[in-house]
Structure 1
């Protein structure tokens, strides 16, 4: 998507869903990493993450930023926590959150130990059972195994 098509897309979505024109600039900002876009309060411009431009939910991201834009210009509550923002976002069908671009990190293994009295201890790091004892009863520990979440 080129910057010109982004500007046209924002203007058509603004006119279609809000009934008001978008009179400022919509640009791509490659420094945005985890967010889909942002509304600049001082200039009223919109910036979008270019990595999310090809996603099917990109129109929802544009609607989300347009909700900030139109509510701020009308003097209503434009923040995420404001009731006016939540209602207008539901009316136009905007995205509440930006989709994840990267897969989540794999979970780390957890190491399980049991003392002689039956207390179970789960740790993120492996320990030497000869050096450590149970924190509840001071009994010797034995290694049970690795647990994956």
Structure 2
């Protein structure tokens, strides 16, 4: 699918689902990383992440387009177009648009497992919990300036 086909699909969804014309541009933006699409307030254009079409299919793309068209039409009508607005949520429900897009399979692989590293002061015995490892040769206890030692590392599932 190219930008022209995306434009035609967006115009069709707008006419059929919303009963209103889509008069601006819809295009793929290869720079989008963490979102399925976005509505641009100044130009009224819609940008879509093509990886959602490639990895999750046509149905996910249609859902993203519906979501962005909700922003588009409400903004042009002067109603609440933001995620937290009641107008926006009601229109999402009416047209069957998702509130959030699905997770890309490529991003699920990149997720890091969270861990907690526990350090203890050798002088006063105070316990410190950190997400990252710290250099115990460089850092000391904030309470008594004692030496720190790594006690354990807890990995979350």
TM-score range, shorter chain: 0.7 to 0.9
Alignment match, 1:77: 80
Structure 2: distance between partners of 1:15 and 1:76: 19
Partner deviation per Cα, 1:11-48 (whole Å, 9 max, x = no partner): 22112211222222111111211121111223222111
Matched-pair contact (CA < 8 Å) for 1:34–1:100: no
Higher-Rg member (1/2) = 1
Instruction: Kindly state the Cα deviation for residue 98 of structure 1 after the two structures are TM-superposed.
Output: 3.1
With over 3 angstroms needed to count, the CA separation of the structure-2 counterparts of 1:110 and 1:15, relative to structure 1, is same
Alignment match, 1:65: 68
- Where 1:99 maps in the other structure, the secondary structure is coil
Instruction: Kindly state the Cα deviation for residue 100 of structure 1 after the two structures are TM-superposed.
Output: 3.3
Relative to its length, the structure with more helix (as a share) is 2
The normalised TM-score by structure 2 is: 0.72
Q: How many residues align?
A: 147
The normalised TM-score by structure 1 is: 0.75
Structure 1: distance between partners of 2:78 and 2:34: 28
With over 3 angstroms needed to count, the CA separation of the structure-2 counterparts of 1:42 and 1:142, relative to structure 1, is closer
Partner deviation per Cα, 1:96-148 (whole Å, 9 max, x = no partner): 12333312222235236598xx97654443676xx977x6xxxx988653321
Structure 1: distance between partners of 2:119 and 2:42: 54
With over 3 angstroms needed to count, the CA separation of the structure-2 counterparts of 1:109 and 1:81, relative to structure 1, is closer
- Where 1:32 maps in the other structure, the secondary structure is coil
With over 3 angstroms needed to count, the CA separation of the structure-2 counterparts of 1:110 and 1:24, relative to structure 1, is same
- Displacement over 4 Å in runs of 4+: 112-115, 118-121, 140-144
Alignment match, 1:146: 153
Corresponding position: 1:111 with 2:114: no
Unaligned runs of 5+ in 2: none
Structure 2: distance between partners of 1:22 and 1:142: 62
Query: CA RMSD for the aligned pairs?
Result: 3.0
